[in-house]
Amino acid sequence: MPARTGQQFVEGLRKQPRDVWIAGGRVDDVVTHPAFQNVVRSIAALYDLQHDPARRDEMTYVSPSSGERVGLSFLPPRTRDDLVRVRRMMKIWSDYSGGMLGRSPDYLNRAVMAFAAAADYCGENDPRFAQNVRRYYDLVRERDLCLTHTLINPQANRSVGPAGQPDPQLAASVVRESDRGIVITGARMLATLPISDEIMVFPSTLLRGQDEDRPYAFAFAIPCGTPGLRFLCRETFDPTGTAFDYPLSSRFEEMDAVVIFDDVLVPWERVFLRGDVERANKAFSATGAVAHMAHQVVTKNIAKTEFILGLASLMVDAIAIEQFQHVQGKIAEIIYYLEAMKAFARASEADAAIDRWGVMTPAWPPLDAARNMFTWMYPRMIEILQLLGASGMMARPTKADLDSELRPLIDKYFQAARMPAAERIRLFRLAWDVALSSFGTRQVIYERFFFGDPVRMQMATFGSYDRQPCVDRVREFLAREAEAEEAPATTPASKG
């Protein structure tokens, strides 16, 4: 099957009922439910972009198995040019939402691609698993499935691992296995985009013990409608209002859900890792998946920063504050963040190398810097929008106000130096949705945490970055100074 259209994505959701709960009720149909219908449309629009005849070569490539054109984010890169090509495709998807749809399907497409290329890693756990992961990648690519994933165990008590919790089945674990597969009970914290077709339940939280943590060490993927699988969503941030009033919330509310497994049977052909704590702990780094996912992340960061730069520039221009030095400084700051992200992306491609699985893998250090620095750059950009917009962020009547008898007053009192009132309100409502609404605030915590806890990510950088050449250089410098000090002073010959 070739790359899907939006309509085919929507039909896929309709065909697969799932157990999704929100605000105390079970959702009958995610396609029509007010909390999900708009984001379903947005994801469908991404799939439709694959069918724009002008973009065919940018968005798709020819499948090696079916000969059909499939999504380019499934491409296993063999050259640096392939990486650039994939980034350009991912940028088109990211630009569609100004980077606000963090979980466009390319994010996890990069992960399944990398896991399949490194299938032997899973095969070392059990030879069947290598075949499983390869077949799964083929399935996802050929059917153009949309994936969500869940990695983190429930937060209950972070001072102990999953086996140390008062109830050992708090965290999802293997409770039984049979010739049909493994059976999972317990919960995982947070899967964004529960309107996906399938869920990857992969390892991430570092498991500490060996024997007691074995039931928690696994990787598998199943359809979101699998019996016993339940998604408990937070309340929606989509007020289902007009796009004028809620330009982002009404389009890109991805939703986050806690995932609860109640005796869920995972057939053996969907199991990729099982009971191997060490292999589970290293899965994302050893397969290269983390680098390919981070390549998507830096692309999204570029799109998001460009969007914020454009937005801030329009705000500055609208209310004529460009002459103030601190305003120029704040815009310059966003430009530096943007240029840093672009440089990280390019450096990761320029320094890419073929990994042990034969895949051209983007260099990790620049991507590691990008993912960590964005955790504070993004909140700072939101602060800048608030500082530039000031009370204008509050002076933003709704579409209903504009359509009311108050319109003449609104036209007069809400005008901006270089924009009529309606245009200024549309712009500042967008700024509010980025910087202040529930949707915007969720974007901030998303950027702080979605790729992991920044504290532990920094600890990982500290532990893994090769600082030795820098240390040696300073040692040499100090030795040179010490040598100079110890050398006998040359005294000028005395006159007799």
Instruction: Output 89 or 111, the one with its CB closest to ligand FAD.
Output: 111
Report, in Å, the least distance between residue 141 CB and ligand FAD. Answer: 21
Instruction: Output 251 or 330, the one with its CB closest to ligand FAD.
Output: 251
**Among candidate residues 380, 343, 337, 381, the one with its CA nearest the CA of residue 365:** 343
Q: How far apart are CA 434 and CA 278, in angstroms?
A: 41
Instruction: Output 253 or 349, the one with its CB closest to ligand FAD.
Output: 253
Report, in Å, the least distance between residue 185 CB and ligand FAD. Answer: 18
Residues in contact with ligand FAD by CB under 6 A are 149-152, 155, 158, 189-192, 256, 442, 445-446, 449-450, 452-453, 455-456
Report, in Å, the least distance between residue 253 CB and ligand FAD. Answer: 11
Instruction: Output 63 or 104, the one with its CB closest to ligand FAD.
Output: 104
Q: How far apart are CA 11 and CA 491, in angstroms?
A: 92
Report, in Å, the least distance between residue 232 CB and ligand FAD. Answer: 14
Instruction: Output 74 or 439, the one with its CB closest to ligand FAD.
Output: 439
Instruction: Output 3 or 114, the one with its CB closest to ligand FAD.
Output: 114
Contacts of 156 (CB under 8 A, 6+ apart): 165, 166, 170
Report, in Å, the least distance between residue 172 CB and ligand FAD. Answer: 11
The residues facing 258 across adjacent strands are 232
Contacts of 80 (CB under 8 A, 6+ apart): 349, 350, 352, 360
First to last CA, the chain: 101
Report, in Å, the least distance between residue 231 CB and ligand FAD. Answer: 11
Instruction: Output 155 or 391, the one with its CB closest to ligand FAD.
Output: 155
Instruction: Output 191 or 382, the one with its CB closest to ligand FAD.
Output: 191
DSSP letter for each residue of 132-148:
HHHHHHHHHHHHT--EE
Hey, what are 157's tokens? 């008590």
Hey, what are 238's tokens? 């989509």
Residue 42's identity, in one-letter code, is S
Longest C-alpha distance within the chain, in Å?
A: 109
Q: What is the DSSP letter of 103?
A: T
Report, in Å, the least distance between residue 120 CB and ligand FAD. Answer: 25
Report, in Å, the least distance between residue 351 CB and ligand FAD. Answer: 27
**Following CA atoms 413, 417, 418, 420 in sequence, which dihedral angle do they give, to the nearest 10 degrees?**
10
Q: What is the DSSP letter of 358?
A: S
Q: How far apart are CA 206 and CA 282, in angstroms?
A: 9
Q: Give the count of beta carbons closer than 10 Å to the beta carbon of residue 32.
A: 11
